[in-house]
């Protein structure tokens, strides 16, 4: 079974805007199934598509299975079957031995920037960059699944 162990944090916008960043990648994603304890997501990037199944969260861990699919299939599934969706630009930044994935949201979630770090185990130590602020790992409002149906700008 695939397990995702992930912590989420908000970002200091001023420090983020001054940061020398790599080029971001646009993600369009939609949810075919979007329930409290399980989701099925389609994600399309500029050159690939993925279908992802996620299970119930237990702390900061949950089951996750992700498979690459043909991009044109992903676009069609997103258009024909998604019940909710969102767009964001993802930036990958390596910091002190860990990969940080920073999502800058667009549309009704514009203004929200969330940093995620995936860990090998829940107790794994890591250092936060100075542009990382409040932890929101346990606040379900910040999950992409919920942001697709109750966007940040509606809070």
What residues are labeled active site?
A: 31
Sign of CA dihedral 76, 54, 37, 88: negative
CA 117 → CA 33, 98, 127, distances in Å? 24, 7, 11
> Residues with Cβ < 8 Å from 115, sequence gap 6 or more?
8, 9, 10, 11, 100, 101, 102, 103, 131, 132
Inter-residue contact 146 to 27 (CB < 8 Å): no
Tokens of 14: 């001023």
Place of tokens 């199944």: 53
| Residues paired with residue 39 on neighbouring β-strands, in sequence order | 34, 54
């Amino acid at each position: 079974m695939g397990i995702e162990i992930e912590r989420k944090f908000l970002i200091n916008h001023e420090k983020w805007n001054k940061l020398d960043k790599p080029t971001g990648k646009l993600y369009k994603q939609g949810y075919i199934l979007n329930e409290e304890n399980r989701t099925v997501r389609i994600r399309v990037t500029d050159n690939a598509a993925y279908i992802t199944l996620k299970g119930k969260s237990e702390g900061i861990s949950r089951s996750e299975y992700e498979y690459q699919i043909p991009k044109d299939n992903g676009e069609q599934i997103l258009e024909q079957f998604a019940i909710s969706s969102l767009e964001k630009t993802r930036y990958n930044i390596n910091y002190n031995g860990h990969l940080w994935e920073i999502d800058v949201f667009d549309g009704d979630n514009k203004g929200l920037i969330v940093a995620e770090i995936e860990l090998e185990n829940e107790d794994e130590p890591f250092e936060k960059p100075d542009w990382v602020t409040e932890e929101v790992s346990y606040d379900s409002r910040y999950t992409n699944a919920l942001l697709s149906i109750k966007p940040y700008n509606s809070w």
